[in-house]
Chains A and B, each alone.
Chain A
Amino acid sequence: SQQGEEDPQALSIQEGENATMNCSYKTSINNLQWYRQNSGRGLVHLILIRSNEREKHSGRLRVTLDTSKKSSSLLITASRAADTASYFCATYLRASGNNRKLIWGLGTSLAVNP
């Protein structure tokens, strides 16, 4: 069952510009994670933000979390052609207990043009 929805579904920008992707979810979460998938490859974990955190940085990535709005955003600054990929948010539900599974969004396809 998908609980996350990414917005926009597709994004095309020029190299050097910033890219912002949003993710909304429906139920209370323990944490929210962002992953990247290059075409035809497996996913790579980018960053995790816990429900008691509001903002987190990792290199050119900035993630925010607003639990009152049940939404998160991923900002990639100074984008490069190599950032071209699909980006997925995934939530680990607060009610999971020992049931360690992620709920995935449908992804944002980012194209960074040279």
Chain B
Amino acid sequence: DGGITQSPKYLFRKEGQNVTLSCEQNLNHDAMYWYRQDPGQGLRLIYYSQIVNDFQKGDIAEGYSVSREKKESFPLTVTSAQKNPTAFYLCASSALNEQFFGPGTRLTVL
């Protein structure tokens, strides 16, 4: 089955810790995206990558970092510099127009 997987589904972090959220796709898509969603809100773009070894900041990149070493993988690190990291994180990939989403990771800072 083709698709996007995100892990873990739920993640708990202590303040001051960095955590990495996984995103893998086997759709052979060039473009991948990370979004943050807060309760009752729309999607805000954190980072996106249109090709391997290249990525661009989105609207709310501060406190986050990414890498794109492989076409299939686009991990997101939430650093201790992100002051309010508790949120629902969604990864997506795209070949042209339509974006395909993973199931999301809910991050809670304790």
Contact = CB atoms under 8 A, between A and B. Distances in A.
Interface of A: 1-2, 31, 33, 35, 40-45, 48, 88, 90, 92, 98-102, 104-107, 109
Given A2-B42, A31-B97, A88-B43, A98 B103 contact: no
Contacts, number: 54
Interface in B1-36: 4, 31, 33
Nearest to B102: A42
Nearest to A2: B42
A44 B101 contact: yes
A105 B42 contact: yes
Interface residues of B, number: 27
Nearest to A1: B59
B56 to A, nearest CB: 8
Contacts of B101: 42-44
A31 B96 CA distance: 12
A102 B99 contact: yes
Contacts of B4: 42
